[in-house]
């Protein structure tokens, strides 16, 4: 990687979703005694490739987190949607970056090798994402019955970090804002707007913590990795 290259990581964490049923948004639930989002931030800070980490959070949480980080981390107020939170993170970070990675706050076990491979692919192609084959057969359902069974070999499940040359991410966020478009991931949005989005092999350990049992599994993995600072 060229010396002068500057890499920004945006971790959108401004959702208020509490699908776990409690009062705490899932990205703030503890893993090994620290909030998930903090685990993720620390893992990126451990990586010398990363210049800056920006974390959009809910307005009401900004004061609570403001004191903690050093100068490589910045917490900012997120937006009303995930895309608006990512846009807020990009705007707060400034222009002096070459590549930007967007990572889910609830994927604490991303691999540095996959991250670096995705950055490399984004540098070459403009945009890239890690994806894994689907383990299960997928059925299209109508009226509670199978209507079709697509060929699963043409699908992947999208993971993060999704990486972009900064001008690509800026382009798709600007267009999405203009059209009031929404998206569950930035890679799909980039493809929708005509950018090539390169697939990089993902990793099944990089799962997303969405259900209570995922957190139980995550705690076990974390304990097994001996503290997990450097799994
Ligand atoms: O709610 P959902 O799972 O779709 O959110 C995906 C991610 O986007 C979460 O990490 C959430 O914190 C983040 N998000 C955000 N700003 C919003 C809504 C969601 O940063 N307004």
Residue among 24, 75, 85 whose CB has most ligand 1 atoms within 8 A, to mutate: 85
> 209 C-alpha to center of ligand 1: Å?
13
Q: Tell me, what's the pLDDT at 4?
A: 75
pLDDT of residue 231: 46
Residue that has been written with the tokens 């989005």 in this structure: 197
Distance 104 CA to ligand 1 centre (A): 8
Per the document, the length of the chain is 231
Q: How far is the CA of 160 from the centre of ligand 1 (A)?
A: 13
Atom of ligand 1 nearest to the CA of 210: 3
DSSP 8-state symbol, 144? T
For a mutational test of ligand 1's pocket, the pick from 82, 90, 211, i.e. the residue with the most ligand atoms closer than 8 A to its C-beta, is: 82
Closest ligand 1 atom number to CA of residue 86: 20
159 CB neighbour count, 10 Å cutoff? 25
Best of 11, 17, 184 for a ligand 1 pocket test (most atoms within 8 Å of beta carbon): 17
Q: What is the pLDDT of residues 97-133, one digit of tens each?
A: 999 999 999 999 999 999 999 999 999 999 999 999 9
Which residues of the chain, if any, have pLDDT below 50?
Answer: 228, 231
Which pTM value belongs to this model? Answer: 0.94
pLDDT given for residue 33 in this prediction? 92
What's the distance, CA 61 to chain centroid?
19
CA of 11 from ligand 1 middle (Å) equals 9
Q: What is the CA(147)–ligand 1 centre distance, in A?
A: 32
The pLDDT score that the predictor gives to residue 71 is 83
For residue 98, the Cα-to-chain-centroid distance in whole angstroms is 18
What is the CB < 6 Å shell around ligand 1?
Answer: 12-15, 17, 27, 56, 78-82, 85, 104-106
Q: Are the CB atoms for 152 and 89 separated by under 8 Å?
A: no
Q: Which residues contact 102 (CB under 8 A, 6 or more apart)?
A: 9, 10, 11, 12, 86, 160, 161, 162, 163, 164, 169, 186
- For residue 102, the surrounding DSSP H or E stretch is strand 99-102
Q: Which two tokens stand for residue 57?
A: 């959070």
DSSP 13: B
User: Ligand 1 atom 10: the closest Cα is on which residue?
Assistant: 13
Nearest 5 degrees, angle CA 93-CA 95-CA 131? 70
Helix then strand count (H, E) for the chain reads: 7, 12
């Amino acid at each position: 990687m060229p010396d002068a290259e500057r890499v920004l990581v945006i971790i959108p964490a401004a959702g208020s979703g509490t699908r776990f049923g409690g009062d705490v948004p899932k990205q703030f639930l503890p893993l090994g005694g620290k909030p998930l989002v903090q685990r993720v931030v620390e893992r990126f800070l451990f990586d010398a490739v990363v210049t800056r980490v920006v974390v959009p959070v809910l307005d009401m949480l900004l004061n609570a987190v403001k004191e903690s980080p050093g100068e490589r981390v910045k917490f900012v107020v997120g937006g009303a949607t995930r895309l608006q939170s990512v846009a807020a993170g990009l705007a707060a970070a400034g222009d002096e970056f070459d590549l930007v990675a967007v990572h889910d706050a609830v994927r604490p076990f991303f691999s540095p090798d996959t991250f670096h491979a995705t950055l490399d692919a984004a540098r070459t192609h403009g945009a890239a994402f890690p994806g894994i084959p689907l383990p299960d057969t997928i059925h299209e359902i109508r009226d509670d019955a199978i209507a079709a069974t697509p060929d699963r070999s043409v699908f992947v499940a999208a993971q993060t970090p999704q990486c972009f040359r900064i001008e690509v991410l800026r382009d798709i966020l600007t267009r999405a804002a203009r059209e009031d478009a929404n998206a569950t991931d930035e890679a799909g949005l980039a493809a929708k707007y005509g950018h090539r989005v390169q697939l990089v092999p993902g990793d099944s350990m990089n799962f997303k913590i969405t259900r209570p049992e995922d957190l139980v599994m995550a705690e076990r993995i974390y304990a097994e990795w001996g503290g997990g600072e450097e799994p």
